[in-house]
């Protein structure tokens, strides 16, 4: 029974380690969303800058203001792009090791709880065995008492029958 449980715990461990990696991956979606948002913002400001260049040629302040916003959006887009790129380049092994360590701890806790359950079952079996032995002993004692009581009753009845038979012979 223990060997089957250990095998079961190892199977759970092997299934849970890759799941840890999958759980960790939603950070990619967040970074990708930031990159897409900053890129769309940059494109919108770039279109605004082109519009200002075409329609407001004489207004230097308007063109410079939108240009500054364009530079800020370009910086944010590049920063998000580099962060996303670095995140994609991170090796997955540390996550696997962290998941492996956690899976090892959970498998160890699972084995420990199995040992405790087996110990409790052994105690329950021993208690049940003792109860059955006591019940059998009680039944034996009751049977002996019943037999001895029946013997006494039979002796009394046989004495009464002999007494009745003697009375009939005399009459």
- Asked if the model's pLDDT at residue 125 lies above 70, the reply is yes
Residue with the two structure tokens 């207004």:
59
Q: How confident is the model at residue 68 (pLDDT cuts 50, 70, 90)?
A: very high
Predicted pLDDT at 43: 92
- Asked if the model's pLDDT at residue 4 lies above 50, the reply is yes
Q: Residue 80 class from Cβ within 10 Å (0-12 exposed, 13-18 middle, 19+ buried)? A: buried
List CB contacts of 6: < 8 A, sequence separation 6 or more: 111
**pTM score above 0.85:** no
- Asked if the model's pLDDT at residue 136 lies above 70, the reply is yes
Predicted pLDDT at 19: 42
Contacts of 77-85 with CB under 8 Å at 24 or more apart are 77/35, 77/38, 77/39, 77/41, 77/42, 79/38, 80/31, 80/34, 80/35, 80/37, 80/38, 80/39, 81/35, 81/39, 83/31, 83/34, 83/35, 84/31, 84/32, 84/34, 84/35
| Other C-beta atoms lying within 10 Å of the C-beta of residue 54 | 8
**99 vs 31, higher pLDDT:** 31
**Mean pLDDT of the residues in the chain:** 79
């Amino acid at each position: 029974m223990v060997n089957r449980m250990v095998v079961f715990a190892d199977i759970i461990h092997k299934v849970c380690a890759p799941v840890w990696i999958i759980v960790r991956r939603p950070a990619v979606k967040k970074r990708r969303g930031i990159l897409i948002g900053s890129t769309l913002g940059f494109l919108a400001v770039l279109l605004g800058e082109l519009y200002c260049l075409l329609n407001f040629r004489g207004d230097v302040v308007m063109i410079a203001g939108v240009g500054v916003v364009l530079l800020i959006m370009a910086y944010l887009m590049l920063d998000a792009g580099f962060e996303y790129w670095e995140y994609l380049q991170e090796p997955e092994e540390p996550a696997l090791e962290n998941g492996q360590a956690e899976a090892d701890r959970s498998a160890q806790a699972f084995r420990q709880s199995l040992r405790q359950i087996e110990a409790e079952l052994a105690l329950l079996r021993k208690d049940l065995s003792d109860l059955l032995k006591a019940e059998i002993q009680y039944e034996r004692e009751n049977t002996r008492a019943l037999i001895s009581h029946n013997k006494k009753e039979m002796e009394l009845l046989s004495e009464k029958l002999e007494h009745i038979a003697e009375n009939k012979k005399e009459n």
